[in-house]
Amino acid sequence: MKLLRRTLPVLIVLLSVAAAAQQATTLNKPQIEERITKLMEQMSLDEKVGQLNQYRSLKDPSDLKPITEGSIGSLMETGADKTNALQRVAMQKSRMKIPILFGHDVIHGFRTIFPIPLAQASSWDPAQVESDSAIAAKEAASAGVRWTFAPMVDIARDPRWGRISEGSGEDPYLGAALAAARVRGFQGTDLSDPNKIAACAKHFAAYGAAEGGRDYNLADVSIKTLRDIYLPPFQAAQLSGVATFMASFNDLNGVPSTANRFLLDETLRKEWRFQGFTVSDWDSVRELMLHSVAATPEEAAYKAIIARTDMDMKGDIYINHLAELVMSAKVPMWIVDDSARRVLRIKFLLGLFDNPYVDPAREKATLLAPDHLAAARTSAQKSIVLLKNDNNLLPLPKTGKRVALIGPLADDKANMLGDWIADGKADDAVTVLAGFREKLGPDAQITHVKGASILGDTPQADIDAAVTAAKNSDVAVLVLGETATMTGEAASRAYLDLPGKQQQLLEAVHATGVPVVLVVMSGRPLTITWAQNNVNAIVYAWFLGTQSGHALADVLFGDVNPSAKLPVTFPRTIGQVPLYYNYLQSGRPNAPKGDTMGYIDETIAPLYPFGFGLSYTTYQYSNLRVANSKLPVNGQTKVLIDIRNTGQRAGDEIAQLFVRVMSGSTSRPVRELRGFRRVTLAPGEIKTVEFTLSGAKLGAHNFEGVYVVDPGAMEVWVGPNSAEGQSAKMELVR
Ligand code: BGC
């Protein structure tokens, strides 16, 4: 054991050095470094600090002085004409002719809007997510935007937190796979490709661990949990060559991330060998004063730059105070040089010095291109999770049935796009009603009634109208949920039920006895426990973007068989939160008064477990085998299972592999995801699905933050979700 502790960290360190070398070849190109050096030799201190300054827009659009004086490194403008015009000022009128880097929140699409990230994560399909991101990059780049503040890779275990919608859910393994996919999609292999943009892994770090699920709140996280749960997606982004990182708003273990040397310097720069630059979050350098770690703006500038926040987003703190701090020898010159060099490195890598402008004709041809819309439809189809389907109520027949389409989101364009929609427009969106009409054609018998409001009052007459419509139909499809603005930033909720009178609406329609399909649009898990116990079918649609209505019609009327699986645990009630599948078991899992570490009035069983999702067909898992059940800590083994489509329709199944290490040097989760595979199966078809399990990846961090792989007993499962599956005993050996 001792020997292992000494040798394995070495193994891991070697691995990360190798990966860092790979990173260095991506971002550190000798010809570029030479050009930066030459440029920096001519730059004044003020011009260097200017590169570290970012605004949304010019404060006064008619005053171009901040650009001509070289005091702006980045702006958040979009549009070929606008960015070209501003860029021309920088390239022609400023002394150093350094191009502006235009950045924007291109989170799940630019003009063509894809499903929100949590929905994309439900596809468990890195290739799809990569291609969605590549399209977003292409559209953004055509509009002059060469930097996105994405991917958001924060692990979120608390659905009260509104920003759960912006990430990939609760699991570090899935989160890491999708973080890497998004970086590859945005950046490609060569940032100078005019269709590619620099990515930004955010929010570094543990922003999702906000206490109480309240946005911006402190995160108090052990070093073990930080490294095992919150950091892996960031490290995956770094290993994929991500160009930038954004510091999070929160205080992490007592130090706000923007001034957190452990995060930005020790971990990111020294340990991970990051070569790109870091940016603060919106005004978060100034906010150091509110965190009471800086009494003055000067001190805020000092603490942020020393911790290695390279760029000040919006705050005006660096531009006003940094040069003076250098002049008075409080901040060493080399730090500002290093920060400026990093910003310039990304600008050179993007090819901005050689090609600073974009072609407005290309922008026109790129935005909402037909293949982009087609991809958004596919992506949305893959993001829709079927949660319940009693007696195969779904798919609905395309003819011969009268459909009551009810709910505030049934014909709503703006909300279905979700939060953070860059240059997306509600007008481009296809509503559920429009999708149904197009799918069913002119003879369709669809009665559409709003039924209730999400925010604001719902008169009883609206609910009554919905009940009447349902009574006169063969099936009622209710499209209920949240508004887009109830999710995302500053949108934490203390209740997780359907807002407004939507629950009453649902119950009233259900009471008619007409079969009910509930479609939920939302950016977080909602506690739809009543619905699970009562309605016939439930489809979780999240927010699906521009092609929402088409994708939902494709699934509800059976042209597409749903395959998505939940990337996050659904609680039965808010009192269970935080609830996640990879918990550490207590010593009393079967307490005398309750069940597994539960409550006296509720179990800890979720409403739906992580990884759960149904299909219009059924799958049977059998014959799990482990090629080498004595797995060496530095070796690999294949894990195989047969999956058979036992239903009547072709479908895609996402098989998941979980492990449990039984004799860790620290407590280990009851299950941890270590692999997933999508497999397409025709009716009756059987395929063997193969996973590779590496001993070195079965470790965890101890309380000193050292990665340790502990030999001993372990168990492996392969199944359709985190609560089911076939299992086998294994042993990790030296
Ligand atoms: C958010 C970031 C975002 C930034 C710029 C902040 O409020 O936290 O995620 O990238 O604004 O819009």
Q: Whose CA is nearest to atom 10 of ligand 1?
A: 149
Token look-up 């009693």 returns 390
Token look-up 């009554």 returns 464
Q: Is the pLDDT of residue 8 over 70?
A: no
Nearest Cα to 661, choosing from 700, 705, 701, 713? 713
- Cα 128 to Cα 153, 178, 181, 191, 460: the distances in Å are 17, 10, 9, 20, 44
How high is the pLDDT of residue 587?
Answer: 86
Q: Whose CA is nearest to atom 7 of ligand 1?
A: 282
Compute the distance between CA of residue 163 and CA of residue 161 in angstroms, rounded to an integer: 6
Mean pLDDT of 127-146: 98
How high is the pLDDT of residue 596?
Answer: 58
Compute the distance between CA of residue 275 and CA of residue 90 in angstroms, rounded to an integer: 25
Q: Whose CA is nearest to atom 8 of ligand 1?
A: 281
Mean pLDDT of 368-380: 98
pLDDT in tens, 434-453: 999 999 999 999 999 999 99
How many Cα atoms sit within 13 Å of 586 on the Cβ side? 9
Mean pLDDT of 530-541: 98
Q: Which residues are catalytic?
A: 281
Per-position DSSP letters for 227-261, written without gaps between them: IIIISHHHHHHHHTT-SEEEE-SSEETTEEGGG-H
How high is the pLDDT of residue 22?
Answer: 47
Distance from the alpha carbon of residue 428 to the mean position of ligand 1, in angstroms: 24
Strand pairing class (630-632; 726-733): parallel
Q: Pick from 76, 77, 105 the residue to mutate for probing ligand 1's pocket: most ligand atoms within 8 Å of its CB.
A: 105
Q: Is the pLDDT of residue 565 over 90?
A: yes
pTM over 0.85: yes
Burial class (CB in 10 A: 0-12, 13-18, 19+), 441: exposed
Atom of ligand 1 nearest to the CA of 152: 9
The structural domains of the chain, ordered by start, are 26-362 (3.20.20.300), 385-563 (3.40.50.1700), 619-733 (2.60.40.10)
What are the tokens at 565? 């699986």
Q: Whose CA is nearest to atom 11 of ligand 1?
A: 282
Q: Is the pLDDT of residue 649 over 60?
A: yes
What are the tokens at 124? 């468990």
Q: Are 38 and 61 in contact (CB under 8 A)?
A: no
Distance from the alpha carbon of residue 281 to the mean position of ligand 1, in angstroms: 6
Distance from the alpha carbon of residue 248 to the mean position of ligand 1, in angstroms: 9
Distance from the alpha carbon of residue 566 to the mean position of ligand 1, in angstroms: 26
Residue ranges of the alpha helices (H) in 28-171? 30-42, 45-51, 65-68, 80-93, 117-122, 126-142
Confidence of residue 597 (pLDDT cuts 50, 70, 90): low
Phi/psi at 267 (nearest 5 deg)?
-80, -55
Atom of ligand 1 nearest to the CA of 150: 10
Distance from the alpha carbon of residue 224 to the mean position of ligand 1, in angstroms: 27
Distance from the alpha carbon of residue 460 to the mean position of ligand 1, in angstroms: 40
Atom of ligand 1 nearest to the CA of 202: 9
Burial class (CB in 10 A: 0-12, 13-18, 19+), 28: middle
Nearest Cα to 573, choosing from 537, 622, 538, 525? 525
Atom of ligand 1 nearest to the CA of 314: 5
Q: Pick from 107, 281, 287 the residue to mutate for probing ligand 1's pocket: most ligand atoms within 8 Å of its CB.
A: 281
SS3 404: strand
Q: Edge-to-edge strand order for the sheet containing 651-661?
A: 630-632, 726-733, 712-719, 651-661, 672-681
Strand pairing class (475-481; 516-521): parallel
How many Cα atoms sit within 13 Å of 168 on the Cβ side? 29
Question: What are the pocket residues of ligand 1 if the criterion is a CB atom closer than 6 Å to any ligand atom?
Answer: 105, 149, 202, 281-282, 489
Q: Pick from 282, 286, 420 the residue to mutate for probing ligand 1's pocket: most ligand atoms within 8 Å of its CB.
A: 282
Q: Pick from 56, 74, 489 the residue to mutate for probing ligand 1's pocket: most ligand atoms within 8 Å of its CB.
A: 489
pLDDT in tens, 130-139: 999 999 999 9
Confidence of residue 380 (pLDDT cuts 50, 70, 90): very high
Distance from the alpha carbon of residue 491 to the mean position of ligand 1, in angstroms: 13
Compute the distance between CA of residue 33 and CA of residue 208 in angstroms, rounded to an integer: 36
Q: Whose CA is nearest to atom 2 of ligand 1?
A: 281
pLDDT in tens, 241-280: 999 999 999 999 999 999 999 999 999 999 999 999 999 9
Compute the distance between CA of residue 326 and CA of residue 45 in angstroms, rounded to an integer: 9
Q: Whose CA is nearest to atom 12 of ligand 1?
A: 105
Distance from the alpha carbon of residue 280 to the mean position of ligand 1, in angstroms: 9
Atom of ligand 1 nearest to the CA of 166: 9
Compute the distance between CA of residue 212 and CA of residue 731 in angstroms, rounded to an integer: 38
What are the tokens at 567? 């990337």
SS3 158: coil
DSSP annotation of 431 reads P
CA dihedral defined by 606, 612, 615, 621, rounded to 10 degrees? -120
Q: Are 610 and 566 in contact (CB under 8 A)?
A: yes
Q: Whose CA is nearest to atom 5 of ligand 1?
A: 282
Q: Whose CA is nearest to atom 6 of ligand 1?
A: 282
